[in-house]
Amino acid sequence: MDTANKNKDAIHEFFVQFLQQKEQYETRITATYLEDIRKHIEPEYRLNMTELHTIACIGEREPINVTSIAERMNLSKGNTSKIANKLLKAGWVRKAQLNDNKKEVYFRLTPVGKKLFAAHDDLHRKEKQRMYEFLDRFNERELEFIKRLFGDMVDFYR
């Protein structure tokens, strides 16, 4: 096997390891940062990152409908509806209608949903700082390459 293929194999292995660690990290980080509001979450409900990001999407743009959530999060409307129904059932969001449009259903956060939103915002702020500290080890040229790599990966897995 030539050097290029050995490097591709190594990159693939690192990528798989990264995804596994990311999953474990997300589980750990979600539990850690939401610990202070667990008392507001019924034991039968658990949040995954997509659901937490849906709460964030609603909190940033409320009132917002399913179509807009799906577009902003790059999810199908069907999947978004399922998530919204789970969040409704858990009491984290509520349905609303605008005065000038009684047909369309919009979502707003409940007080508990607002606490989840604030915890999520705090998590993102801390994680962004952590990422910046990690990226400080790279020079400008390397940062440009990393940016291109991740942009291409996003397009590839779309």
pLDDT of residue 123: 80
Percent of the chain scoring above 70 in pLDDT:
89
pLDDT of residue 38: 63
Answer yes or no: do 28 and 101 share one domain.
Answer: no
Total domains in the chain come to 2
Distance, CA of 76 to CA of 124 (rounded, Å): 24
Count H helices and E strands in the chain, helices first. 6, 2
Q: Could you tell me which of 92, 90, 95 has the C-alpha nearest to residue 115?
A: 92
Answer yes or no: do 42 and 22 share one domain.
Answer: no
Helix/strand/coil percentages in the chain, nearest 5: 70, 10, 20
For tokens 């509520």, name the residue: 94
Give the residues of the chain that fall short of pLDDT 50.
none
The pTM of this model reads 0.69
Answer yes or no: do 103 and 141 share one domain.
Answer: yes
pLDDT in tens, 30-44: 666 666 566 556 666
- Can you read off the two tokens belonging to residue 111? 């007080």
Which residue range is the domain that position 23 belongs to? 1-33
Answer yes or no: do 16 and 90 share one domain.
Answer: no
Distance, CA of 55 to CA of 83 (rounded, Å): 10
Residue 105 DSSP symbol: E
pLDDT of residue 122: 84
Q: Could you tell me which of 63, 20, 27, 73 has the C-alpha nearest to residue 47?
A: 27
Residue 102 sits in a domain whose CATH number is 1.10.10.10
